[in-house]
Amino acid sequence: MALLYEDIKRIDVSRAISPHDQMYRPESERHYFYVGRSGLLAILNVINLRSSYFGGGSPILDVYDFGCGHGRVCRWIRSAFPNAMIHVTDYNKTAVEFCVDAFSCVDTRGEIPANSFDIIWLGSVFTHLPEDIVRDLLRRLAAGLRQNGVLIFTSQGRYSIERMKGFDWENDKRAFMHYFLGKAAFDKVASMYEQTGYGFIDYQGKTNYGVAIVSHEWYYSFFKPDRTVTQIMFQEKGSDNHQDISAYMRCDLTDDRKGPLF
């Protein structure tokens, strides 16, 4: 039996690169495409799990890449869902324009229309936002799902804290380990994480944009009161062997009807 990752590795994906894409460096091209591929794997894993639920076999017609950048994951979504409408948005308008031109996407201009999407994907968006903004965004994103639609996002959690224990700050040569924060700033985020489940600090000179480390339980607690949203996946370190992946489906938690596998 062919494994899913083998099928994904055979997908013919666009190699178009924007000259403005700061995520891309020629010397690390393999990693750039690996991250995009791992994003698609997460999406397809969630779609497979969706099949366990009533209505989980509904077609994928509209996909929203929220925070698309210059298409590191979007190009893979386009290849995997060639007949779907791919909607994109990002604070970087040049990036959005590139995705529209290179991957035949539609610019949503930041809007999240209700009951409109079968998949909403956010790759490393919540990793940079404070709690109040994420709460508001989660509400609007969940409302944007069609029945049986899935919200899939990556976040930084337990691994981000655990890997720093015993870190040699005096001989720091790996600033990416602590997200380019100084020791005092990282310790503040870690303390907030341990106390409330949501650690955040702005980058120097920025407002409402920085580093967020958030527990899986915080996201689950947010959705728990809403019986029309069901968590269908949580995977630690599933994205680029670093970020967690969570998925929530628009379906009634108490619906006992069988899914398409029955």
Residue-wise pLDDT for 227-251, tens only, equals 999 999 999 999 999 999 999 999 9
Contact assessment for residue 147 and residue 257, using Cβ atoms and an 8 Å cutoff: no
Structural domain spans, the chain = 28-156+215-250
Residue-wise pLDDT for 58-110, tens only, equals 999 999 999 999 999 999 999 999 999 999 999 999 999 999 999 999 999 99
Instruction: Provide φ and ψ at 94, rounded to 5°.
Output: -65, -40
Q: What is the CB neighbour count within 10 angstroms for residue 242? A: 18
Contact assessment for residue 42 and residue 35, using Cβ atoms and an 8 Å cutoff: no
Q: What tokens appear for 147 in the block?
A: 């029945």
**Type of residue found at 172:** D
pLDDT band at 35; cut points 50, 70, 90:
very high
First to last CA, the chain: 21
Contact assessment for residue 99 and residue 121, using Cβ atoms and an 8 Å cutoff: no
What is the second-level CATH architecture of the domain 28-156+215-250? Answer: 3-Layer(aba) Sandwich (3.40)
Q: Is the pLDDT of residue 262 over 60?
A: yes
pLDDT number for residue 19: 97
Contact assessment for residue 68 and residue 97, using Cβ atoms and an 8 Å cutoff: no
